[in-house]
Amino acid sequence: MKKKIVTCILAGMLTVSSLAGCSSFDADDVVVTVGEQKITAEVANFYARYIQAQYETYYSAYLGDNMWDSEATKGKSYEESVKAAVLEDLEDMVLLEQHMGDYDVSLSDEEKQVIKDAAKDFGEKNPLEDKEKVSGSDQAVERVVTLMAVQMKMQEVIESTAETEVTDEEAAQKSMQYVNFTYKIKDDEGYYKDLTDKEKSEIKAKAEDFAKAVKEGKDFEACAKEQEMEVKDKTFDALSAVPSEELIEAADKLKEGEVTDVIETDYGCYVAKVTSLLDRGATDEKKESIVEDRKEELYLDTCKKLRDEAKIEVNDEVWDKISFKDIKVTLKDVEKDPYANDVKTDDVADAEEEAESGGEAE
């Protein structure tokens, strides 16, 4: 827990630069009242800037200089979307703090001291001018880190009550081998372009010959090697969408060892052979994923229930004065992407696989 608390603020060494005239507000102005507890503009602004810094540091390269005006969802900019999430986070954290007793959760003296030390460290490492722009007083920083620490402890306790029993039937993952006869080809500049209709007909005929051969008993991999095709392995269930929803639907109906017909899509043709109706490794991983989903759902449902039961009043006049477009905030001394050493997730692998075949991952 101590390590997690420190991590909350380790990335809090900020680089701040003004972009436009900042709207003024008093530190003690109230942004939102949760029950009888008030969240001041100082606290709300510091937490908002902490979140802003993460977006500015890790996503601005992808979203561009006008990232906060970019559309996040239909009719809502990134600034509106992130600020809404920040406000909900603050409300949740206060509510969780108010209900610590219900879950027998508390902060130890040691943890409280770690929070004080982290706030002091932040104060010493950031210039006064920068701290003033992000409301980074010792009091505000300590309050925000306290709320974050409480949230972490409460989330762990709430999630620990989630159901962890998952049957093979619930998590069952099948496996298959497949080849992709693509309708796209790279040009000299490395861009993909569509084949002509005649070329597509020839590709489809090649796929049909392949499917016929393996259905008649020829080894799948040997046949692919003869045609200089790459065999790919894939685990799946009925809800999978990669490499192709049409292929998944066809393969899901087959028994072990059976081969699909040629499955044609806008991007090419597929032929697959089901190799297992219960892939043990993938099924066990799916069980873990289901449990994590249950934990997350339980936590989010708990927070929603607390919000529904609480009286929450937002002072939009003050909250609207906090804008991500008036100052730029980034994290100092970021040496690398924080996810660079993560194991590649199934979603990322699926997206890359779909891109290679010319489709769009779900």
Kindly list the structural domains of the chain, giving each domain's residue range(s) and its CATH number in brackets, ordered by start.
Answer: 2-164+289-331 (1.10.4030), 174-277 (3.10.50.40)
Instruction: Please report the pLDDT score of residue 17 as a whole number.
Output: 72
- Identify the CA nearest to 73 among candidates 85, 61, 65: 85
Average pLDDT, the chain: 87
User: Each residue of 296-329: pLDDT tens digit?
Assistant: 999 999 999 999 999 999 999 999 999 998 888 8
Has residue 8 got a pLDDT over 60? no
Query: Confidence class of residue 172 from pLDDT cuts 50, 70 and 90?
Result: very high
Q: Is 273 exposed, middle or buried (0-12, 13-18, 19+ CB in 10 A)?
A: buried
Do 357 and 180 touch, CB atoms closer than 8 A? yes
N-term to C-term CA, the chain: 36
pLDDT tens string 110-133:
999 988 988 888 888 888 888 888
pTM for this structure? 0.78
pLDDT(348) > 50: no
What's the distance, CA 88 to chain centroid? 18
- pLDDT of amino acid 81: 95
Q: Average the pLDDT over 349-362 and give the result.
A: 48
DSSP letter at 192? E
In this structure, what token pair is assigned to residue 339?
Answer: 């996810």
Give all strands (DSSP E) within the chain, no chain letters: 14-18, 30-34, 37-40, 71-73, 76-77, 174-182, 184-186, 192-194, 232-236, 263-265, 268-276, 312-314, 327-331
Q: Residue 293: pLDDT above 60?
A: yes
Percent of the chain with pLDDT over 90: 67
Above 60 in pLDDT, residue 7? no
- Report the C-alpha gap between 126 and 37 in whole angstroms: 29
pLDDT (average), residues 338-355: 44
User: What CA–CA distances, in Å, run from 359 to 182, 203, 282, 351?
Assistant: 10, 17, 24, 9
Which of 201, 354, 179, 172 minimizes the C-alpha distance to 260?
A: 179
Q: What is the pLDDT of residues 26-85, one digit of tens each?
A: 999 999 999 999 999 999 999 999 999 888 888 888 888 789 999 988 889 999 999 999
- The confidence band for 11, taking pLDDT boundaries of 50, 70 and 90, is very low
Report how far residue 134's alpha carbon sits from residue 41's, in angstroms, rounded to the nearest whole number. Answer: 11
SS3 content of the chain, % helix, strand, coil (to 5): 50, 15, 30
Question: 4: pLDDT confidence band, cut at 50, 70 and 90?
Answer: low
Angle, helix 2-10 to helix 138-159, in steps of 10 degrees:
130
Dihedral in degrees, nearest 10, Cα atoms 136, 142, 147, 150 = 150
Contact partners, residue 167, CB within 8 Å, separation at least 6: none
- 19 has pLDDT over 80: no
The predicted pLDDT at position 193 comes to 85
Distances (CA, A) of 53 to 11, 16, 208: 9, 9, 54
Q: How far is CA 355 from each of CA 182, 274, 350, 358, rounded to the nearest angstrom?
A: 11, 23, 8, 5
pLDDT of residue 300: 97
d(CA 308, CA 310) in angstroms, rounded, equals 6
Q: What percent of the chain has pLDDT over 70?
A: 86
